[in-house]
A and B are shown apart, each in its own frame.
Chain A
């Protein structure tokens, strides 16, 4: 008697659970669709009706290609292939077509559906409409391109005139004029890097900073940058203490940017000149690069904030240091994206050492 009552209760619980789950799926704002291994639509929630315009009756039994705009290529076989390998598809951005022919940008998260034996018999998909978001991103990208162009345009022509004038005066052996024009050129380079920094920060915020992934020689990069920056100062002595040469896989230009930033800062914050030591350490799974200066150092209460956006060294003794406070923020982002870490040790009045680590990919 008890077992019949138990079974009845279990069945009721199951049915309730089933209805509960159906209610959850149905009330979701996102489109939730399931299909079998051949791509035939098995279920279609109200979110799917709203997103794509087809009613459940119209959609169920149809192939999923109903939604895929042919001009963008059919990505369903690739998705299925990934699922059959047991991999989930998460936040995959693609295009789909609605019943009335509109093309939508959607973000898909797809999980495999398995039967009792664990065999994959279909897929369950959650689709979110990201068309508006994509449009905003496109507007932002366009703005960044236009802003770069507009800001760099007058700088380009001024720099060109400056350099031509310099060669004209050099031919006339006018040393003073050449010196002034050199200083103008240096300022223009500063302006250019400020503009680039501003735009980099914008890209970082919009997650549009692209990174190359190519192998390069770390020591080679360091030597190149140190030699270039040594030429910008005759009061500082840039010294290299490099460990054995290793290969790093990453973005050579961007990491060069980090080094340039750290060494330029070392120069900037050692106003009385002095040594700047660039060192590398090779550990089994990472390389650590450090830039040490013997300049003004950073007060202890500011150490935690140096890598924040807009952080600038300030104070009665130090408000002659120019800069927007973006360099270290950008460097930190770059190092982070390369899978490394960045940190600093410093003593006010004695100097600072900035470190960053880069993972070494075992061959």
Chain B
């Protein structure tokens, strides 16, 4: 009998509760464990739970998502965790990459694009 894999943990940070809820629905349906927050300040703290991947909005209440990303990538303990930056503005793709993000997704996104990027970066993280 094959050993069942533990569910991968995804942390979603976005300033809009509607998007958090929809993303939770979408990711849980696909078999992931999901934690969410609207508050930029708590992202660093929630990282202590060691999520397997972070979906981070560039616009966060309280903090710029790019600063959060830079800070997490600067720390040895969190650098390896893949971060996908999400934003309504497709022109900021380059800026997101410069912040050290592993990937970028423009809103509104196609579910298949989100899921395939999440799956890809979780694989790569192994």
Q: Which residues of B contact A161 (CB under 8 A)?
A: 22, 25
Given A160-B22, A164-B25, A164-B26, A152-B88 contact (CB < 8 Å): yes
The reply to whether B108 and A188 contact each other, CB–CB distance below 8 Å, is yes
B15 CB to closest chain A CB (Å) equals 8
Binary contact readout A154-188 vs B (1 if CB under 8 angstroms, 0 otherwise):
11111111011001100000000000000000001
CA distance A151 to B108 in the complex (A): 10
A353 CB to closest chain B CB (Å) equals 31
Residue of B nearest to A155 (CB): B108
The reply to whether B107 and A153 contact each other, CB–CB distance below 8 Å, is yes
A242 CB to closest chain B CB (Å) equals 27
B residues 15-55 touching A (CB-CB < 8 Å): 16, 18-19, 21-23, 25-26, 29
The reply to whether A149 and B59 contact each other, CB–CB distance below 8 Å, is yes
Interface size class of B (residues with CB under 8 A): 10 to 19
Best-surrounded residue of B22, B26, B29 (most CB of chain A within 10 A): B22
Number of A residues with CB within 8 Å of any CB on chain B: 21
Q: Which residues of B contact A12 (CB under 8 A)?
A: none
Q: Which residues of B contact A217 (CB under 8 A)?
A: none
Secondary structure of the A contact surface, majority rule: helix
Q: Which of B59, B88, B89 sits near A156, CB closer than 8 Å?
A: B88
A145 CB to closest chain B CB (Å) equals 7
B55 CB to closest chain A CB (Å) equals 12
The reply to whether B19 and A153 contact each other, CB–CB distance below 8 Å, is yes
The reply to whether A156 and B109 contact each other, CB–CB distance below 8 Å, is yes
Residue of B nearest to A199 (CB): B89
Does chain B have a CB within 8 A of A237? no
Does chain B have a CB within 8 A of A210? yes
Q: Which of A156, A163, A167 sits near B19, CB closer than 8 Å?
A: A156
Q: Which of A151, A153, A167 sits near B16, CB closer than 8 Å?
A: A153
Q: Which residues of A contact B89 (CB under 8 A)?
A: 145, 148-149
CA distance A153 to B16 in the complex (A): 7
The 5 lowest CB-CB distance pairs between A and B, nearest first, are: A160-B22, A163-B111, A157-B18, A152-B88, A157-B22
In the complex, besides A158-B22, A160-B22, 16 extra interface pairs with C-beta distance below 8 angstroms are A149-B59, A153-B88, A155-B107, A155-B108, A156-B22, A156-B107, A157-B21, A157-B22, A159-B109, A160-B23, A160-B108, A160-B111, A161-B22, A164-B111, A168-B29, A192-B108
